[in-house]
Amino acid sequence: MKRIIARTTAVLLAFAAIFAYNTHDAKAEGVDVSAASAIVLEATTGRVLYEKDAHNKMPMASTTKVMTAIVALEYGNLDDVVTVSKNASGVEGSSIWLSVGEKMTLSDMLYGLMLASGNDAAVAIAEHVGGSLDGFIELMNAKAQEIGAYNTHFANPNGLPADGHYTTAYDLALICAYAMQNENFCEIVKTQYKTLPWEGHEWDRVVKNKNKILWNYEGGNGIKTGYTREAGRCLTAAAQRNGMQLVSVVLCAPDMFSDSMALMDYGFQNYQNRVIMETGEFIGDVSVDDGMEDSFSVYTDKDIVYPLTDAEYEQIKRSVHLDDKVKAPVNKGQLVGTIDLWLGENRLYSVELKSVYYIGENSYEFNLNKLLKFWTNTRMLDM
């Protein structure tokens, strides 16, 4: 009987697990940071490469605006025209000098928000996208829960001191990693200078990004600075090298830029993204009882990549659990096995293996129905 070669789809079940030995004491690894709380992780897998008191709840100043921007991008339209309210124009702190009644596209507002850290832009965006300030804050908190930032709560869109406004370095890193998946967000936060229109003036605004990582660090491509007296200096930073996207967060960090560069140096020097399962790897054959085909072969359909040290890469193991035999019919998407990828005793991924083809039952009833269907269709064509 004809043998079918069917590639099954490898479906990612478990996101990268965070292990105790993935995190390290700062002094033990030679990472010396001034920050009260710090973390660096690889953004695509979520693997924590280093942390220091990363689960302490702390104020985060204008790094809040990372969430403001991503909610605006997901719920707003970049071409929308935002009209500045009195409430937005009068906000204290850093500003892009918005006037009551001034109009600006949401796109330009976001550049003013993320480059110049405009508190006025944050409120104008929130009122426009959320319908009200409170409505937008609800969206921010809902998005935090969706991302998994469970120890985060927002009370405003700009990061000014407020009761119930806090995050952790870990949560903020998750939020940043999520935001860096959005192309529009990435384009905004990597921009060094931006010219914005200025109603009522003969010249335009020119805003400069406050994030020195963009100038001073190889591969730097984001994200956001922050400062208040209560929160201290805060920075979310990002850089990409050799296909690895790192995100670092430092909270209450007197030397925030040096801290962030030291954290990312540690990540790039000690880890690299490794392919631990390649597209097209043959996994095995599955026999089919009473089927129109007697078996099918199982292959992987994607690369699985994970950040590892040299020593860890040598320790990667896999365990394959594949059905020896299944009974027809075999449905498209039917689970036929799993692959578990391990680092020591810790499972990195569990990958489902599924059939991508339907294999019919080779039975008298099945063949009779097939013949009757063919006969009926033929008679209809003859009429």
Which of 37, 94, 107, 117 is catalytic? The answer is 117
C-alpha to C-alpha distance for 95 and 110, rounded to whole angstroms: 13
Closest to 96 in 3D by CA, of 207, 241, 242, 238 = 207
Judge whether 350 counts as a catalytic residue: no
C-alpha to C-alpha distance for 82 and 107, rounded to whole angstroms: 10
Residues carrying CATH 2.60.410.10, the chain: 1-20+272-383
Q: Would you state the pLDDT for residue 379? A: 56
- 3-state class (DSSP) for residue 210: coil
Cα angle, residue 194 at apex, residues 190 and 200 outer, rounded to 5°: 155
Structure tokens, 10: 């490898």
Tens of pLDDT, residue by residue over 224-239, are 999 999 999 999 999 9
Q: Is the pLDDT of residue 270 over 90?
A: yes
Residues carrying CATH 3.40.710.10, the chain: 31-270
Q: Which residues pair with 133 in a beta bridge?
A: none
| Per-chain mean pLDDT for the chain | 89
Q: Is the pLDDT of residue 167 over 80?
A: yes
Which of 37, 52, 65, 260 is catalytic? The answer is 65
Please list the helix, strand and coil fractions of the chain in percent, rounded to the nearest 5, in that order. Answer: 30, 30, 40
Q: What is the DSSP letter of 372?
A: H
Mean pLDDT across 280-294: 90
Evaluate whether the domain defined by 1-20+272-383 bears CATH number 3.10.580.10.
no
Q: Would you state the pLDDT for residue 53? A: 97
Judge whether 95 counts as a catalytic residue: no
| Distant-in-sequence, close-in-space partners of 272: CB < 8 Å, separation ≥ 6 | 242, 244, 307, 308
Q: How confident is the model at residue 364 (pLDDT cuts 50, 70, 90)?
A: low
Tens of pLDDT, residue by residue over 56-101, are 999 999 999 999 999 999 999 999 999 999 999 989 999 999 999 9
Mean pLDDT across 353-374: 77
> How crowded is residue 373: how many other Cβ atoms within 10 Å of its Cβ?
10
276 φ, ψ (degrees, to nearest 5): -105, -5
Which of 62, 94, 248, 260 is catalytic? The answer is 62
Judge whether 62 counts as a catalytic residue: yes
Question: Residue 10: which H helix or E strand, with range?
Answer: strand 9-12
Q: Is the pLDDT of residue 200 over 70?
A: yes
Q: Would you state the pLDDT for residue 374? A: 64
Q: What is the DSSP letter of 272?
A: E
Tens of pLDDT, residue by residue over 8-61, are 333 333 233 333 334 444 444 668 999 999 999 999 999 999 999 999 999 999
Q: What is the CATH T-level fold of the domain 31-270, as seen in this structure?
A: Beta-lactamase (3.40.710)
